[in-house]
Amino acid sequence: MNRNWLKIAFIYVGTVIGAGFASGREIIEFFGAYGLKGIIGMVVSGILFSLLGGLLLVKIYSNKIAGFDDLVWRAFGDRLGKVLDAVMIVSLYTGFSVMVSGSGAIFKEEFGLSFDLGMIVMMASSFMIFLFRLKGLSFINSVLVPLLILGIVFTAFYLILGEGSNFYSHDMGTNLTHKGNFLTSSLLYVGSNSLIIITVFSSLLPMMDSKRTAVLGGVAGGIILYLLGLAILSIMLLYYPEVAAMDIPMLRISNHIGSFYRKFYAIILWIAVFTTAIANGSSFINRFSNSRYKTLIAAAFCISSFPLAKLGFAKLVSLIYPIFGVIGFSVLIVVLIML
């Protein structure tokens, strides 16, 4: 049997394990805020990532879905398809803005530089990619994801072995967030990733030669995401009072290993922010690939992210992700039923 299922699994992981995940901010918002109950929520999300991921890939294989437009048309028809397309455009814009804000947070928290400077560097770097269509981002991702996985696993094992499993226990999540309890929060977390998962999965038909490949790819990817999420959650619960309000909690935590390691993780995390920003921005701008004003559109897209990004990384994650969690989970369920 070929190893395409493993490639699909890593694509799945790379799609979800963006800057919000690797920074620890998402994990605190959706799981850490609920204390030890967040572990149950993580188990629920892991099961959903595995089952729904495998089922979605099987649906795409069985119906020979040729791309996102094909999927939208078959599942929603022409009118609703246009509505969903508009939702995707908003999702890509807000996703890019969150990453711009994440760059500002890294510059401020790690390098002691201006938050605005971090945002400007991210916008300018992204614009250069959009303008010249530089190649090699897929290679960067293929190196980045294993580095992030190794960094997360190493940090978790190192600190848990050193500190033990004296997890900080509290039950304040319902009061701290607007996502209900730990179970509804886990559903929203899966939902917040669903739109980009649907977009990426809809292009994977050429890699699937059988239903077995589809199932293995989805289930294996979900299991890896669960294990990585549990690793980060464990660290967050060890140091929760120290990092709960931070934009980039993993940077503070990595300092317990050493200042050099913290710098290393900060660089890898910034690259993760950059590649996630490019993924969102490129998908947005490619919709105008035939426009004579593409360069102007790219510039306007980058600059327009500034006001939203100024709200702050943690605030954007807590505000925007739950909204798209509801939308994304609803869209995923409709896709699975209609295909």
Is the model's pLDDT at 45 over the cut of 90? Answer: yes
pLDDT at position 265, please?
86
pLDDT at position 44, please?
96
pLDDT at position 174, please?
44
Of the pLDDT bands very low, low, confident and very high (cuts 50, 70, 90), residue 61 is very high
pLDDT at position 173, please?
43
Residue 334's Cβ-count burial label (10 Å; 0-12, 13-18, 19+) is: middle
pLDDT at position 247, please?
79
Q: Rounded distance, CA 39 to CA 149, Å?
A: 19
Could you read off the pLDDT of 159-197 as tens digits, one per residue? Answer: 888 766 565 555 544 444 455 688 888 999 999 888 888
Is the model's pLDDT at 149 over the cut of 90? Answer: no
Q: What is the mean pLDDT of the chain?
A: 84
Report whether 173 contacts 181 (CB < 8 A): yes
Distances from the Cα of 66 to the Cαs of 31, 69, 200, 332, in angstroms?
35, 8, 11, 17
Q: Rounded distance, CA 47 to CA 41, Å?
A: 10
Is the model's pLDDT at 1 over the cut of 80? Answer: no
Tell me the angle at which helices 313-338 and 68-111 cross, rounded to the nearest 10 degrees: 160
CA dihedral 151, 155, 156, 159 (to 10 degrees): 170
How many residues are recorded in the chain?
Answer: 339
What mean pLDDT comes out for the span 282-305? 82
Q: Where are the beta strands (DSSP E) in 5-135?
A: none
Which amino acid is present at 237?
L
Of the pLDDT bands very low, low, confident and very high (cuts 50, 70, 90), residue 135 is low
What mean pLDDT comes out for the span 106-134? 87
What mean pLDDT comes out for the span 78-88? 84
Q: Rounded distance, CA 282 to CA 261, Å?
A: 31
| Percentage of residues in the chain having pLDDT higher than 70 | 91
Q: Rounded distance, CA 201 to CA 4, Å?
A: 13
Report whether 249 contacts 243 (CB < 8 A): yes
Domain around 82: 4-338
What mean pLDDT comes out for the span 266-277? 84
pLDDT at position 59, please?
94
Query: Which of 135-144, 235-244, 311-320 tops mean pLDDT?
Result: 235-244
Q: Rounded distance, CA 205 to CA 214, Å?
A: 9
Q: How far apart are the first and last CA of the chain?
A: 27
Residue 139's Cβ-count burial label (10 Å; 0-12, 13-18, 19+) is: exposed
Could you read off the pLDDT of 205-245 as tens digits, one per residue? Answer: 988 989 999 999 999 999 999 999 999 998 888 888 888 87
pLDDT at position 245, please?
79
Of the pLDDT bands very low, low, confident and very high (cuts 50, 70, 90), residue 138 is low
Of the pLDDT bands very low, low, confident and very high (cuts 50, 70, 90), residue 4 is confident
Kindly report each contact of residues 333-338 with a partner whose C-beta sits within 8 Å and lies 24 or more positions away, as own/partner: 334/75, 334/76, 335/56, 335/59, 335/71, 335/75, 335/198, 336/52, 336/55, 336/56, 336/59, 338/74, 338/75, 338/76
CA atoms within 13 Å, Cβ hemisphere of 49: 30
Domain count, the chain: 1
Q: Rounded distance, CA 319 to CA 339, Å?
A: 31
pLDDT at position 175, please?
47
CATH number for 127: 1.20.1740.10
Of the pLDDT bands very low, low, confident and very high (cuts 50, 70, 90), residue 118 is very high
